[in-house]
Amino acid sequence: MDSIRIQGGRPLKGEIRIGGAKNAALPLMAAALLTDKPLVLRNMPRLADIATMGQLLAQHGVAIDLAEPADGVSGRVATLNAAGVDNTTAPYDIVRKMRASVLVLGPLLARFGRARVSLPGGCAIGTRPVDLHLKGLEQLGAEIELNQGYIVATAPNGLIGADVVFPFVSVGATENLLTAAALAKGTTRLRNAAREPEVSDLAECLVAMGAKIEGIGTDTLTIDGVEALHGADHEVPPDRIETGSLAMAAAATGGDVTLLGARPDMLEQVFRTMGQAGAVLDVEPDRVRVRCPRVVGVDVMTEPYPGFPTDLQAQMMAMLTRAEGASMITESIFENRFMHVPELTRMGANINLHSRSAMVRGVRRLTGAEVMATDLRASVSLVIAGLVAEGETIVNRVYHLDRGYERLEHKLAACGAQIERVSR
Ligand code: EPZ
């Protein structure tokens, strides 16, 4: 199993190009199931989760073609053709590897009137039920049973538009309902919908495929169902979480890094918080330069977009471990997303957990250690800690990183980090 070995203590300096967003690409790929015409997705990141979604769609009968981009720098071009779908079951073996597999439920049900999708179960960051997805689809007329660990959904007469009010914000439930409603009869209104940029991007792609959606970017989405959707050619936006992670790595090491091909407008709250913590951010529409002469403590609370994202909480904590003063970090989205805390503590961080909040008291130095993490964002926070720690850090279970960060060690090494992947 691969590990990442880091010799810490070097400020990052240079330029890094940001890849396509994993969490935008995954629902876009699932949306290919809505039509029998090809959907072309550009700037696709090379990531394990994208490969898993490809595997899932292929076993449904989707033909997938991958090509290198004409410009040689952006991500690959995927052409997905769901004309030959002959299987509406998403099996446990694939769904257990990646929860986002549940995003095929809405499209399959809307186009074929049936779907059988394994229940994803819990994961390292929490129990993560899918009850909002199921209740919403039921409101659109689906009949849903749970049978032997599977969601068995049918809509023999098609889905019918309805008013769905989410009791709290869910990215995945909004995406599943949006795709389902695109082909439902009549009008669907999704209230308290997620406003994450990946949701808006999915909605834009659906519109390009012929869907009628209003309110994109707001918490109320109104969808007038259409009979059929057609193909489209859509570019995956840059990954705001990769951007934030690398910005925090640059700041934590006291470096000077310019992140190219980014969308700083999707990170306003993150950059505001980083600024309060001492980072200097020069923002342009497609890039951001990050410097940080000194880190100072700041309070952070994760919230749905446009608040501070839970997917950057662990990285922000790593940055704050050496801050002057204390920081209170509160996780309000997931109940168990502090798996990085014991590992950061092993590297010398001073962190006390009180339920959903972590008190981080800045220390003068971290020291390298052998560490391991249980999820994607926790792993990258340990890489950031390794970059600032004195001595050698080994981050185990690198497969978590490969799910969501493309060539991370190459990108960091190009900015002067002493980092390498080792097979053990
Ligand atoms: C998406 O997960 C992202 N995944 C996550 O990114 C991200 O952390 C999360 O949104 C929050 O921003 C993808 O986009 C593929 P939710 P999702 O439904 O859709 C609870 C990463 O590191 N909930 O918004 O699964 C849930 O347990 C990943 O890239 C229910 O109770 O998240 C959580 O506490 C990890 N019932 C909260 O809502 C439901 O039916 C928000 O979850 C649905 C969700």
Neighbours of 417 (CB within 10 A): 26
CA of 170 to the centre of ligand 1 (A): 6
What letters, b where the CB count within 10 A reaches 16 and e where it falls short, cover 22-47?
A: bbbbbbbbbbbbbbebbbbbbbbbeb
Q: Which of 46, 71, 171, 155 is nearest to 111 (CA)?
A: 155
Given a cut of 90, is residue 127 above it in pLDDT?
Answer: no
Neighbours of 145 (CB within 10 A): 10
**Is 53 touching ligand 1 by the criterion CB < 6 Å?**
no
Please report the pLDDT score of residue 404 as a whole number.
Answer: 95
**Is 106 touching ligand 1 by the criterion CB < 6 Å?**
no
Nearest CA to ligand 1 atom 31: 129
**Is 173 touching ligand 1 by the criterion CB < 6 Å?**
yes
Nearest CA to ligand 1 atom 8: 311
**Which pTM was predicted?**
0.98
Atom in ligand 1 nearest the alpha carbon of residue 168: 38
Q: Which of 171, 198, 335 to mutate to test the pocket of ligand 1 (most atoms within 8 A of CB)?
A: 171
Please, which pLDDT band fits residue 122 given cuts at 50, 70 and 90? Answer: low
Over residues 404-413, the mean pLDDT reads 97
Nearest CA to ligand 1 atom 17: 172
CB 382 within 8 A of CB 340: yes
Atom in ligand 1 nearest the alpha carbon of residue 305: 12
| Identified catalytic residue from 123, 205, 292, 415 | 123
Please report the pLDDT score of residue 334 as a whole number.
Answer: 94
Given a cut of 80, is residue 123 above it in pLDDT?
Answer: no
Q: What tokens appear for 131 in the block?
A: 């009850």
Report the C-alpha gap between 259 and 20 in whole angstroms. Answer: 13
**Is 376 touching ligand 1 by the criterion CB < 6 Å?**
yes
pLDDT in tens, 156-188: 889 999 999 999 999 999 999 999 999 999 999
pLDDT in tens, 265-322: 999 999 999 999 999 999 999 999 999 999 999 999 999 999 999 999 999 999 999 9
Over residues 120-129, the mean pLDDT reads 78
pLDDT in tens, 190-211: 999 999 999 999 999 999 999 9
Nearest CA to ligand 1 atom 5: 311
204's CB contacts (< 8 A; 6+ apart) are 216, 234
Active site residue 415: no
Nearest CA to ligand 1 atom 14: 23
Average pLDDT over all residues of the chain = 97
pLDDT in tens, 77-102: 999 999 999 999 999 999 999 999 99
Please report the pLDDT score of residue 126 as a whole number.
Answer: 75
Please report the pLDDT score of residue 259 as a whole number.
Answer: 98
Please report the pLDDT score of residue 125 as a whole number.
Answer: 76
Over residues 202-227, the mean pLDDT reads 98
Higher-confidence residue of 4 and 72: namely 4
Q: Which of 29, 333, 381, 405 to mutate to test the pocket of ligand 1 (most atoms within 8 A of CB)?
A: 333
Report the C-alpha gap between 331 and 358 in whole angstroms. Answer: 8
Please, which pLDDT band fits residue 374 given cuts at 50, 70 and 90? Answer: confident
What letters, b where the CB count within 10 A reaches 16 and e where it falls short, cover 341-353?
A: bebbeebbbebee
CB 382 within 8 A of CB 395: yes
